[in-house]
A and B are shown apart, each in its own frame.
Chain A
Amino acid sequence: MEDAFVFAILTVNATVRVATPLILCAMAGLFSERSGVIDIGLEGKMLAAAFAAASVAALTGSVWVGLAGGIATAMCLALLHGFACITHNGNQVVSGLAINILASGLTVVLGIAWFHRGGDTPGLEATARFMPLALPMARAVADVPLVGTLYSRLISGHNLLVYVAFSAVPLVWWVVYRTRFGLRLRAVGENPKAVDTAGISVTWLRYRAVMICGVLTGIAGTYLSVAHNAGFAREMTAGQGYIALAALIFGKWRPWPAFGACLMFGLLDAIAIRLQGVHVPGIGEVPVQFIQALPYVLTVVLLAGFIGKAVAPKAIGVPYVKEN
């Protein structure tokens, strides 16, 4: 019983750690896509931010400057995407793809050129990282059965960016559904003409959405290299940007369902390793690759309309051009 409980806590901890970048990227994608701009470049922005944050933190020794660097980098790529798609009405999928490939190459090129470590950045000291935080009274209540353990080992003890990610969800929900900006954001993704005829700039609205996307992916990337790990390693995002996109679609472009999907995908990842070699009655050994592929399979099933309908914002992917 005790073992099962400990196992559960360890698994949930792992889930939280894996889900954090997913949550941040999903929220980032939410802003962009709700405004009508497809963003498959979440992966590239996160990767670039991870590299920038780790490099800056290594060079300056300050984790905060590193965070700023990560956010700034992701923001640049986000503005590039905006420039191509919003100002030049370019193909949004191609732009996102280009950013991913560009980031993938550039991070390694610069990494090797500057640090000569085969693409990695120098290892970071604890002072230049976001380290696990102990929440108030965590040690005091540690011995309290159940609740104390939960508090001290599960809720407390994560680094700052984990808490940022989890609090981002209600914040994002509030912004999207309770503010003027959120109302207009949702409108411009469904019917940009309605927004234009109401006298509001479609372009500025979309640029703001894209910039918020940049900030959030910047934090996600920073988390990977400066909080979760102690430096940047090549291709460290390993497709998580795409899983975040899948979670966003799975959550039907809404904050809380997307958050749930991120947790679910995070859980799958945490379980995957632990399930290796374990026999499930009736099925035999569950291949780890099956669990790894599950997020993608589920997204396809959803898109095919078999688990309800995933209705994207109506005007997504279509550049807004005033017709004559």
Chain B
Amino acid sequence: MNTGGQDLPRWIDIGLIPILNICMALLVSGVIILAIGEDPLEAVAIMVRGAFGYEEGIGYTLYYATNFIFTGLAVSVAFHAGLFNIGGEGQAYIGGLGVGLVLLAFDSVLPLAILAPLAILAAAIFGAAWAAVPAYLQAYRGSHVVITTIMFNFIASAVMVYLLVNVLINPGQMSPESRQFLPNGHLPFMHEVLAWFGIPFAPTPMNVTLIWALICCVGVWAYVWRSRWGYELRTVGHSEPAAVYAGIRPRRIIMVAMCISGGLAGFVGLNEIMGVQHRLLINFTAGYGFTGIAVSLMGRNHPFGVVMASLLFGALYQGGAELAFDVPTISRELVVTIQGLVILFSGALAYMSTPWITRLYRVLTAGRLAPAASEA
């Protein structure tokens, strides 16, 4: 992706500019809300209240955030290897298929304690497999990973519809869904877990997958920044000549990075299929893959940023639902619009503000800093 502003101190590059980008996105959103005749400030207030103002809202916010963490991490890992994985949608879908197949096959014979790790494994493997083909084509045949992953998103959709209509459908049912999983194929909801500790909490779809998401954050951080495989990954992403110099094989890294990325996206399937829906159904990914891109861009491809951005988007989703409920003229799609604006300002126009910020910074700090070392 575009790099710029290397003369600016890190806090501006990582902190100020992203905040500026979000503000611009929100500003434009405010204009849109005005254009349809509503009050932007009131809209914001409703959204904040909807997302954080009461237990159920918080629960929903965190439930959405769980999915975004997975897809955001997926895009981040690929990004660090210099790849743009837009296939999160399809990888999440197929990951969910893996979870569903495991549960449909074994939910009558295995307990939850074994089903859960199996499902995790299945989600990862299936998601990784769906990313592996575009990865291979990029690494070994030079096919642009962006186009192939877009195609694979559509192919995943077709595959899933076929399977759910013709193969996995619950007999005697009209809607293309599998049968419900047995109770030991359900991940406990957070409100259930909290109840064990005597803490009352409103019922929401938020479930223990959230904990797994946070574990994955730590895992990704450790892998990318603290392991030698992550070191090699980042080297390939920053400078392929340096990687070759170091004896690293870029093709292998591309494969590994994309597979990890696909696996992470697959965990959305864990959350949705085993955590919330308790059956296989179509379109449970509902755009989470694309939101992951926005989350990753906003979060500067770092797990901490991804968590923050996921919370923000979770709040947007939940707050947006509340807003759509309260104000009939505003629809849920406002959130999608804001998402598009965020991607625009954090991604394509990310460095639009850099030149004048650099100038402003130089003006403000002129004279306060000692002249930099001038040796060549």
Contact = CB atoms under 8 A, between A and B. Distances in A.
Direct A–B contact in complex, judged by CB atoms less than 8 Å apart: yes
Contacts of B142: 305
A222 B336 CA distance: 23
B362 interface: no
A114 B330 CA distance: 10
B36 A114 contact: yes
Nearest to B331: A112
A186 to B, nearest CB: 20
Interface residues of B, number: 53
Interface string B205-245: 00000000000000000000000000000000000000000
B293 interface: yes
B294 to A, nearest CB: 8
B86 interface: yes
A102 B333 contact: no
B162 A287 contact: yes
B162 A85 contact: no
Contact of A290 (B2, B86, B148, B158): B158
A84 B335 CA distance: 22
A242 B148 contact: no
Contacts of B84: 91, 93-94
Contacts of A110: 32, 35-36
Interface centre among A92, A97, A106, A116 (most CB of B within 10 A): A97
B151 A289 contact: no
Nearest to A111: B331
Nearest to B336: A105
B148 to A, nearest CB: 6
Interface in B12-62: 32, 35-37
B349 interface: yes
Given A91-B2, A290-B162, A300 B148 contact: yes
Interface string A229-246: 000000000010010011
A85 B144 CA distance: 18
A257 interface: no
Given A105-B333, A303-B143, A303-B148, A296 B154 contact: yes
Given A101-B336, A246-B151, A84 B344 contact: yes
A113 interface: yes
Interface centre among B84, B293, B349 (most CB of A within 10 A): B349
Given A90-B350, A242-B150, A97 B143 contact: no
Contacts of B37: 113
A40 B340 contact: no
Interface in A245-291: 245-246, 249, 287, 289-290
A40 B148 contact: no
A164 B142 CA distance: 37
Contacts of B166: 287
Contacts of A88: 348-349, 351-352
Interface string A97-121: 1111111111011101110100100
B306 interface: no
Interface centre among B1, B297, B343 (most CB of A within 10 A): B343
Interface centre among A102, A103, A287, A299 (most CB of B within 10 A): A102
Contact of B161 (A40, A80, A239, A289): A289
Contacts of B338: 105
B90 to A, nearest CB: 10
Contacts of B333: 104-106, 108-109, 112, 119
Given A104-B336, A109-B333, A292 B137 contact: no
Interface in B65-94: 84, 86
B337 interface: yes
Interface in B268-327: 290, 293, 297
A296 B155 contact: yes
A106 B86 contact: no
Contacts of A92: 348
A23 to B, nearest CB: 20
A300 B336 contact: no
Contacts of B343: 94, 97-98, 101
A108 B332 CA distance: 9
A89 interface: yes
A135 interface: no
A286 to B, nearest CB: 11
Contacts of A290: 158, 162
B348 A84 contact: yes
Contacts of B297: 94
Contact of A108 (B151, B158, B331, B348): B331
CB-based closest 10 A-B pairs: A102-B340, A105-B336, A105-B337, A94-B347, A113-B36, A293-B158, A95-B348, A101-B340, A90-B348, A98-B344
20 contacts: A88-B351, A88-B352, A90-B349, A91-B347, A94-B347, A97-B293, A98-B344, A100-B340, A105-B340, A106-B333, A109-B330, A109-B333, A242-B150, A290-B158, A292-B158, A296-B154, A299-B147, A300-B152, A303-B144, A319-B2
